[in-house]
Amino acid sequence: MINILITDGMEKTSLEELKKMNYNIVEEHYSKEELFQEVKKYNILIIRSATKITKDIIDEARKTNNLQLIIRAGVGLDNIDVEYATLEGIAVRNTPSASKTAVAELVIGHILNMARFLHHSNITMRNGEWNKNIYQGIEIEGKTLGIVGFGRIGRELAKKAKALGMKIKLYDVITPIINNKEYEFSDLDELFARSDFISFHVPHKTGEKSMIGREEIEKMKDGVYLVNCARGGVIDEDTLIEALDNGKVAGAAIDVFMNELKPNPILCNHDRVSITPHIGASTREAQWKIGQEINNIILEFWKESKLSDNIKTI
């Protein structure tokens, strides 16, 4: 029987479907020390962002050679040492398509929030204030949205923003599209200089230098709005706070943080920041899609690799 460990939870409907497939499934979140002991028992590991699969955990798994597949329920793979796992013969998969609509819609929501002071006016009205004359916003129609990273989420965002009348400028280091009739591709410096809003959809690994620091922000239009629903650390948080304070950046929308669970309190409480606690994929629809994609990955991998051969039980 195939032994599956789910460490960070899974959508209930898809989980019930998986249980009907005659797998031995354990749902348990382990500390890193506990995972050292437990990982050796399993053939498939399903994680989200909370569990980190590092080289030393992979080494423990290889002591029994049971672990053959790691599935990240989500897009980013920065919490898995993918290169080392692959080198050790462990396949790594993610669910890149499932959350594209949810994340793109969250970005649009943040843009509207910043443009029209939705959060501020909600809070102040609950406090008995009537600040109609203070909250003069801007219309997003006709404004230029720069999208950095034109993968699945970037493409979905471009489609939705264009439908709202925004002009779209794109930059992608991997897949530039020349002479695209719908969108304008440009180099990064031009995108910075001409965009009213910039949304980032690129990977980032903990410990790496931030893509956006002081030098990059200086190249941007005065009064730019920045959105990061990708990975914490894409934008250097201290530099962002400085740019918000001096007015170079008019507003920022942040769903991901350099230190999640305990994010920078200055950033979170800044009156020009729209914040959410990493909820990009937190819709019922996205979670169901993620669960379905996980089940399909397991079925396909089982067929292709004959995973059922030589399986040990717990």
The active-site residue out of 260, 284, 285, 300 is 260
pLDDT at 12 over 80: yes
Mean pLDDT of 156-169: 97
pLDDT category of residue 303 using cuts at 50, 70 and 90: confident
Query: Which structure tokens are listed for 44?
Result: 């498939």
In this predicted structure, what is the pLDDT of residue 309? Answer: 52
Give yes or no: 204 in active site. Answer: no
Percent of the chain beyond pLDDT 70? 95
Please, are residues 44 and 5 in contact by the beta-carbon 8 Å criterion? yes
Summarize the confidence of residues 94-110 as an average pLDDT: 95
Average confidence score pLDDT of the chain = 92
Given a cut of 50, whether residue 313 has pLDDT beyond it is no
Q: How confident is the model at residue 206 (pLDDT cuts 50, 70, 90)?
A: confident
> Catalytic: which of 110, 120, 231, 270?
231
Note the pLDDT of residue 103.
97
In the beta sheet, which residues pair with residue 146?
A: 169, 198
Q: What is the mean pLDDT of residues 186-190?
A: 94
Q: What is the pLDDT of residue 314?
A: 45
Measured between its terminal Cα atoms, the distance across the chain in Å is 9
* Alpha-carbon gap, residue 258 to 252, rounded angstroms: 15
| Residue 270 and residue 261 in contact, taking contact as beta carbons nearer than 8 Å | no
Distance CA 304, CA 285 (A): 28
**Contact (Cβ atoms closer than 8 angstroms) between residue 172 and residue 203:** no
Is position 33 annotated as part of the catalytic site? no
Listed in order, strand segments (DSSP E) in 176-269 are: 184-185, 197-200, 224-228, 249-254
Q: What's the order of all strands across the beta sheet hosting 197-200?
A: 184-185, 167-171, 144-148, 197-200, 224-228, 249-254, 273-275
Give the model's pLDDT for residue 180: 65
CA 214 – CA 130 distance, rounded (Å): 37
184 backbone dihedrals φ, ψ, rounded to 5°: -105, 120
pLDDT at 159 over 70: yes
Arithmetic mean of pLDDT, 286-296: 96
27 three-class SS: strand
**What pLDDT is attached to residue 302?**
79
Is residue 260 annotated as a catalytic residue, yes or no?
yes
Comparing 148-152, 194-198, 234-238, the range with the smallest average pLDDT is 148-152
pLDDT band at 233 (very low <50, low <70, confident <90, very high): very high
Per-residue confidence (pLDDT) for residue 179, from 0 to 100: 55
Rounded to an integer, the average pLDDT of 91-97 is 93
Mean pLDDT of all residues in 91-120: 95
pLDDT digits (tens, 9 = 90+) for 26-81: 999 999 999 999 999 999 999 998 899 999 999 999 999 999 999 999 888 889 99
- CATH numbers and ranges of domains, the chain: 3-98+285-305 (3.40.50.720), 100-275 (3.40.50.720)
**Helix, strand or coil, per DSSP, at residue 173:** coil
pLDDT at 308 over 80: no
Q: What would the mean pLDDT of 212-229 be, rounded to a whole number?
A: 98
pLDDT of residue 177: 60
Note the pLDDT tens digit of each residue in 73-93: 988 888 999 999 999 999 999
Mean pLDDT of 221-239: 97
Name the residue with tokens 């034109």: 150
Quick check: helix, strand or coil at residue 112? helix
CA atoms within 13 A on the CB side of 164: 21
Q: Are 8 and 50 in contact (CB under 8 A)?
A: yes
pLDDT at residue 167 in the model = 96
